[in-house]
């Protein structure tokens, strides 16, 4: 069985691609490689890599593909605001393009990497039937993509949207702009965990290998269980308030709990129900934030993760790429020779 992973060289995609290989699937990665090929360098001889863009790749890429896992995106809120029209082009229109082409080409299943951010911030515990309240361009693009790809579902084309919680844990494309990973980085660099005021806000979390497992479970599930369905990806017990979570991170690393506040009080809080994925897909996480924090700390200590690599803060890296693009255009226009 041949699986196309768009964004397969990214934080989640590079782990998911490895897990697919471990289970014996053929893997094709389609990625613009904004973060380079380093995250997948050790599996390059086992996958087919296509360096291209979801907005304009040649549809023949989908020939012979059985399943598409669509992860390519500008992957967080601040990045999504750098150029909102590009975010819409990639995260909304790009995914709708991938899904439509996949259906036309006879691909059997399509899984969309969506996000719990579509709920915005609301009181209570939110499930897949709760009203959505997307507050950012990133969240709006996710919701629009869901709304256009889910109706493509029919008996020959199984479509599922996975609304992932905030992910944590080590990946070869490291992201320190995610809450738990960022806490570990602060601890590593300054001996203090940065905590966004006032620490009482709730957020749902999931480990990067667990969310990857959810993609695989979705692909392997009976089609009547997943077709046209939305699943929140995470687990009820991994809804955390930020301050206790920071304490847990310190404990897991085995250092005294030192912290520093930053930002304005964040009153945006939300909790998510993961009953549906537990019941329907028998999904249970294998990892907790304690293990995730420890493995990220170990990766920093043994040099697998670079604490000063600009690429690990997604918005900073995309800003840098945009700056370089503008600079190079100016060089071209003015005929400046470097
Ligand atoms: N990490 C999280 O906490 C989280 C939570 C919820 C949802 N998600 C979603 O999961 C998916 C993967 O997230 P991630 O954390 O791995 O992000 P990431 O930024 O590490 O990976 C995204 C990958 O997509 C590629 N890409 C970007 N634009 C592209 C384009 N136009 N064409 C082809 N490739 C392109 C990038 O090069 C990158 O390798 C995204 O859709 C993201 O929105 C992530």
User: Is there a domain that residue 137 lies in?
Assistant: yes
User: Is there a domain that residue 331 lies in?
Assistant: no
Give the span between the Cα atoms of 98 and 162, in whole angstroms: 16
Whether residue 118 has its Cβ less than 6 Å from ligand 1: no
Distance 154 CA to ligand 1 centre (A): 27
Q: What is the pTM of this model?
A: 0.96
pLDDT value for 338: 47
- The 3 state secondary structure assigned to the chain is CEEEEECCCCHHHHHHHHHHHHCCCEEEEEECCCCCCHHHHHHCCCCEEEECCCCCCCHHHHCCCCEEEECCCCCCHHHHCCCHHHHHHHHHHHHHHHHHHHHHCCCCEEEEEEEHHHHCCCCCEECCCCCCCCCCHHHHHHHHHHHHHHHHCECCEEEEEEEECEEECCCCCCCCCCHHHHHHHHHHHHCCEEEECCCCCEEEEEEHHHHHHHHHHHHHCCHHHHCCEEEEECCHHHEEEHHHHHHHHHHHHCCCCCEEEECCCCCCCCEECCHHHHHHCCCCCCCCHHHHHHHHHHHHHCCCCCCCCHHHCHHHHHHHHHHHHHHHHHHHHHCCCC
pLDDT value for 335: 63
User: Is there a domain that residue 337 lies in?
Assistant: no
User: Is there a domain that residue 335 lies in?
Assistant: no
Atom of ligand 1 nearest to the CA of 9: 39
Number of domains composing the chain = 1
Q: Which domain holds residue 49?
A: 2-315
pLDDT value for 334: 67
Give the span between the Cα atoms of 22 and 8, in whole angstroms: 15
Whether residue 206 has its Cβ less than 6 Å from ligand 1: no
Beta bridge partners of residue 164, listed in sequence order: 115, 233
User: Is there a domain that residue 116 lies in?
Assistant: yes
User: Is there a domain that residue 157 lies in?
Assistant: yes
Provide the CATH number for the domain around residue 108: 3.40.50.720
pLDDT value for 68: 99
User: Is there a domain that residue 238 lies in?
Assistant: yes
Phi, psi dihedral angles at 267 (to 5 degrees): -90, 5
φ/ψ region of 206 (left if φ > 0, alpha if ψ in -120 to 50, else beta) reads beta
pLDDT value for 212: 99
Pocket test for ligand 1, best of 6, 8, 11, 177 (most atoms within 8 A of CB): 11
Comparing C-alpha atoms, which of 87, 72, 93 is closest to residue 13?
72
End-to-end CA, the chain:
48
pLDDT value for 330: 74
Q: What sign has the CA pseudo-torsion 89, 145, 211, 53?
A: negative
CA distances from 331 to 226, 312, 317, 318, 323 (A): 51, 28, 21, 20, 12
Give yes or no for a contact between 117 and 77, defined as CB atoms under 8 angstroms apart: yes
- Six-digit token pair at 19? 């897990």
Pocket test for ligand 1, best of 38, 40, 47, 72 (most atoms within 8 A of CB): 72
Give the span between the Cα atoms of 94 and 108, in whole angstroms: 19
pLDDT value for 19: 98
The one-digit pLDDT tens for each residue of the chain (338 residues) are 999 999 999 999 999 999 999 999 999 999 999 999 999 999 999 999 999 999 999 999 999 999 999 999 999 999 999 999 999 999 999 999 999 999 999 999 999 999 999 999 888 899 999 999 999 999 999 999 999 999 999 999 999 999 999 999 999 999 999 999 999 999 999 999 999 898 999 999 999 999 999 999 999 999 999 999 999 999 999 999 999 999 999 999 998 999 999 988 877 788 999 999 999 999 999 999 999 999 999 999 999 999 999 999 999 999 999 999 887 787 766 665 54
User: Is there a domain that residue 303 lies in?
Assistant: yes
């Amino acid at each position: 069985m041949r699986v196309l992973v768009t964004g397969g060289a990214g934080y989640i995609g590079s782990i998911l691609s490895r897990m697919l290989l471990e289970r014996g699937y053929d893997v094709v990665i389609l990625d613009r490689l904004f973060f380079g090929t380093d995250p997948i360098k050790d599996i390059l001889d086992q996958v087919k890599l296509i360096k291209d863009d979801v907005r304009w790749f040649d549809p023949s890429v989908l020939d012979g593909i059985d399943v598409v896992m669509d992860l390519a995106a500008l992957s967080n809120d601040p990045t999504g605001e750098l150029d909102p029209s590009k975010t819409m082009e990639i995260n909304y229109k790009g995914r709708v393009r991938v899904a439509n082409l996949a259906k036309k080409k006879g691909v059997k299943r399509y899984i969309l990497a969506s996000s719990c951010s579509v709920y915005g911030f609301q009181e209570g515990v939110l499930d897949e039937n709760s009203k959505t309240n997307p507050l950012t361009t990133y969240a709006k693009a996710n919701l629009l993509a869901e709304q256009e790809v889910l109706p493509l579902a029919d008996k020959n084309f199984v479509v599922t949207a996975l609304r992932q919680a905030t992910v944590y844990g080590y990946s070869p494309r490291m992201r320190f702009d995610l809450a738990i990973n960022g806490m570990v980085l602060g601890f590593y660099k300054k001996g203090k965990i940065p905590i966004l005021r006032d620490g009482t806000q709730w957020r749902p979390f999931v480990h990067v290998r667990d969310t990857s497992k959810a993609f695989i479970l979705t692909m392997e599930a009976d089609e009547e269980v997943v077709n046209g369905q939305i699943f929140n990806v995470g687990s009820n017990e991994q809804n955390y308030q930020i301050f206790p979570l920071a304490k847990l991170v310190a404990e897991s690393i085995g250092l005294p709990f030192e912290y520093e506040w930053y930002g304005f009080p964040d009153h945006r809080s939300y909790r998510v129900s993961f009953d549906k994925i537990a019941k329907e897909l028998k999904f249970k996480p294998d990892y907790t934030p304690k293990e995730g924090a420890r493995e990220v700390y170990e990766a920093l200590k043994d040099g697998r993760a670079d604490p000063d690599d600009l690429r690990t803060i997604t918005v900073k890296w995309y800003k840098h790429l945009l700056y370089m693009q503008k600079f190079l255009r100016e060089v071209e226009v003015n005929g400046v020779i470097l």
